Amino acid sequence: MTPSQPSSQTILTIDSTLRDGEQAAGVYFTLAEKVTIATALDAAGVSILDAGFPIVSKEETAAFEAVARIGLKAKVFATVRPDIVEISSAKKLGAKGVFLFFPISRILSGLIRTMTLDQFQKVIITAVQHAMDLDLEVFVVLEDAGRAGRGTEAETISRLIPEGATSFIIAESVGALTPWAMHTKIKELCTTFPEVKFGIHCHDDYGLATANSLAAIEAGAIYFSGTVNSIGERAGNASLEEVIVAIQNLLHFKTDVDSRYLLKLCRLVEEVSGFIIPPIKPICGSNTFKCESGLHSRALLRQKGSYEPYAPEQVGQERSLSLGKHSGMEHLDHLLREMSLSLEDTKKRQLLAKIKGYQEEHKSSDMAEFVKQCREFYQNHSGLRQDVLQQLLIEVQDGADPD
């Protein structure tokens, strides 16, 4: 595949951390945390914030309005169903636009929507017209497009274009496509509807969300929707940080996001979500620019970047070398020079042997215990516990909370 867009094309980011990211089991953002995350996303250059689904709860309504009213450069959008009341409410809360969800696969027919595709298309048309009457920008989100029959998206888009809809998000809701199938789908849509602006929103159930997002962008999509640290329902969403850097470095397109903000952004979301970043996570993992292997360390000491796909500074990281079983003599020499120490060759070989054998002799059960504690933590924080539910039931039955 070769990029189908000119290199001058800027890919615009729709961040869904505040909405889809928070839908991960066990994740909850307070109002203050949502404002903090939104401010950090705005500082990084994100163009559009999917700032929440206001109808979910009074807390979600308040948090959405708080984000919408702080004066960000990013456009704050609300996720809504094709419901006139929800759309009007989003406008009153300060939304600049809405994501209108439209499940189009046969699998979701009768589960999320209880009417025929033709009937639902008429509902969407009414919703689009109402949103535009309120001067809201509209993105129609074609949910579960990966499992929709061929031509389903085109049929819906054809009916909505005359009503003024020009922006559509192809939502790969369960990660069901390969990158090749995704490229074909988006290419066909872009060719059929050259006047439409397409975006892509992928889930990571097969670990293909980053690849599928890149395939869609290469095929002509100009909007990318993802979440920081990939957080989201089930296996999560396309990683905002991974896709942004890959767009810049592999597809050679411009993005709205300044990648130097990514590490700080990832760590912020890590802290407020409680989802720990794996050390080997691309872009923001603690091991991403850390090397232990003797051969790799020697190469890096001789030439920066020799075993790095991109400079750590691009994403706010720093490179480092780690001592361990695989360390080599050149790394040890480097450390001794930094410590202003000198050892004869025999002593250096003895020291290196001790370094290589240290972990074998001193490894304890701490690591296994740490992993068990993490598993227990996530099991206990993946939603409300049964005892909490029982307490809430008692409060409701006793009439303790009139709300």
* Tens digit of each residue's pLDDT (9 = 90 or more) over 143-155: 887 777 677 788 8
Q: From the centroid of its chain, how far is CA 198?
A: 18
Both 161 and 236 in one domain: the answer is yes
403 has a pLDDT exceeding 80 = no
Give dist(CA 210, CA 249) in Å, integer.
Answer: 14
Give dist(CA 74, CA 43) in Å, integer.
Answer: 9
Domain region containing 375: 368-398
Instruction: Write down the pLDDT at residue 66.
Output: 98
- Does a structural domain hold residue 190? yes
Both 315 and 384 in one domain: the answer is no
- Does a structural domain hold residue 115? yes
Mean pLDDT, residues 117-146 taken together = 88
Instruction: Write down the pLDDT at residue 1.
Output: 44
Both 97 and 113 in one domain: the answer is yes
Among residues 239, 273, 307, the one where a domain terminates is 273
Both 339 and 386 in one domain: the answer is no
One-character DSSP codes across 316-350? T---EE--STT--HHHHHHHHHHTT----HHHHHH
- Does a structural domain hold residue 2? no
Confidence of residue 44 (pLDDT cuts 50, 70, 90): very high
pLDDT, tens digit (0-9, with 9 covering 90-100), for 306-339: 788 999 999 999 988 888 888 888 888 888 888 8
Instruction: Write down the pLDDT at residue 334.
Output: 87
Instruction: Write down the pLDDT at residue 219.
Output: 97
- Does a structural domain hold residue 280? no
pLDDT, tens digit (0-9, with 9 covering 90-100), for 332-368: 888 888 889 888 889 988 988 888 888 888 887 788 8
**How many domains is the chain built from?**
3
Both 213 and 122 in one domain: the answer is yes
Confidence of residue 4 (pLDDT cuts 50, 70, 90): very low
Give dist(CA 305, CA 43) in Å, integer.
Answer: 28
- pTM of the predicted structure, to 2 decimals: 0.89
Give dist(CA 231, CA 240) in Å, integer.
Answer: 10
Both 317 and 373 in one domain: the answer is no
- Does a structural domain hold residue 284? no
Both 130 and 184 in one domain: the answer is yes
- Does a structural domain hold residue 285? no
240 has a pLDDT exceeding 90 = yes
Mean pLDDT, residues 216-234 taken together = 97
What six digits make up the tokens of 343?
């050892």
Mean pLDDT, residues 229-249 taken together = 97
Instruction: Write down the pLDDT at residue 387.
Output: 85
Among residues 273, 301, 327, the one where a domain terminates is 273
Instruction: Write down the pLDDT at residue 229.
Output: 98
Q: Phi, psi (5° rounding) for residue 366?
A: -60, -40
272 has a pLDDT exceeding 80 = yes
Among residues 273, 298, 321, the one where a domain terminates is 273
- Does a structural domain hold residue 283? no
Both 188 and 146 in one domain: the answer is yes
Both 37 and 137 in one domain: the answer is yes
Both 105 and 26 in one domain: the answer is yes
- Let me know: does 170 contact 190? Beta carbons within 8 Å: no
Both 190 and 172 in one domain: the answer is yes
Mean pLDDT, residues 204-223 taken together = 97
CATH number at residue 22: 3.20.20.70
What six digits make up the tokens of 385?
């516990």
Both 61 and 137 in one domain: the answer is yes
